[in-house]
Amino acid sequence: MIEAIAYRGHNPADDPAWAKTGAPTQQDYGHWSRHLCGMVCLQMALVHRDGTAPALWSLRDGAVGAGAYQVEGEEIRGLIYQPFAEYAAQVHGVNAVVHRQLSLDDLRTVCDTGRMVMASVSKGIRTPEVEPERRGGHLVLVVGVTGAGDVHFNNPSGHTPRTRKAVLPLGDFERFFGGRGVSLDLRPLSLSTPLMGNAMAESTPGVPPEK
């Protein structure tokens, strides 16, 4: 239903599959649905590692409890990177590292280490033929960068099969890329290795929240 929601004003709460997320009510799902791209990225990574993953709402609850979302009344702020990274490590055994600044070269280097990257991009990346109004604000899961310079990524808000499991040349990806993100090492924590060189991460507060 993403095409209808994104381009035709359809109410996301009307998604007939809302209960599969584990949300307590349809209204809760509708209220949160535009803020859960990071949780979908984590869920995809866990499925890749384990063959299964907790329900989306369970991941949301854990992230809220860890401070990765801040909720004040009807306002939702997040995903906030550093508490999310701590939550991913402590609860799910994922060595998650915050990248305050991430160039395209760094993105390739980090992927070459075997990590996936939750990369901040414009939500408009699903229509790369259209120039974005901004960079960043949405999260996709980058699973690799080829030697030829193609970025392979899974987009939680892709509206077609081709945009959900997408490939873009680095130059096109750059137009949407906010230059920050969180990398995920899915190996056991005892086997994870630190990142070196320009791809060294900075665990910093104040990284803009993603929706």
| Token pair recorded at residue 91 | 């609860």
The one-letter amino acid code at 99 reads H
pLDDT of residue 74: 86
Q: What gap in Å lies between CA 185 and CA 163, rounded to an integer? A: 24
| Token pair recorded at residue 109 | 């280097």
Could you tell me which of 144, 126, 139, 211 has the C-alpha nearest to residue 180? Answer: 139
pLDDT in tens, 77-119: 989 999 999 999 999 999 999 999 999 999 999 999 999 999 9
Residue 47 sits at the vertex; the CA angle it makes with 183 and 208, to the nearest 5 degrees, is: 35
| Token pair recorded at residue 196 | 């070196």
Single pTM value for the model? 0.88
Polymer length of the chain: 211
Could you tell me which of 139, 121, 136, 116 has the C-alpha nearest to residue 185? Answer: 116
pLDDT of residue 86: 97
pLDDT of residue 132: 85
- Give the ranges where the chain is alpha helix by DSSP (H): 2-8, 26-32, 37-50, 56-66, 81-92, 104-112, 161-164, 170-174
Q: Walk along the chain (211 residues) and give the pLDDT tens digit of each residue.
A: 776 666 667 787 888 889 999 999 999 999 999 899 999 999 999 999 999 999 999 999 999 999 999 999 889 998 999 999 999 999 999 999 999 999 999 999 999 999 999 999 999 999 899 888 889 899 999 999 999 999 999 999 888 899 999 999 999 999 999 999 999 999 987 777 666 444 444 433 334 445 4
| Token pair recorded at residue 185 | 């090492």
Q: What gap in Å lies between CA 155 and CA 77, rounded to an integer? A: 20
Cβ proximity of 140 and 156 under 8 Å: yes
Q: What gap in Å lies between CA 50 and CA 82, rounded to an integer? A: 24
For helices 56-66 and 37-50, what crossing angle results, to 10°?
120
| Token pair recorded at residue 158 | 């892709």
The phi, psi pair for 178, rounded to 5°, reads -85, 0
pLDDT of residue 198: 40
Question: Across-strand partners of 98?
Answer: 182
pLDDT of residue 134: 85
pLDDT of residue 208: 45
Q: What gap in Å lies between CA 124 and CA 128, rounded to an integer? A: 7
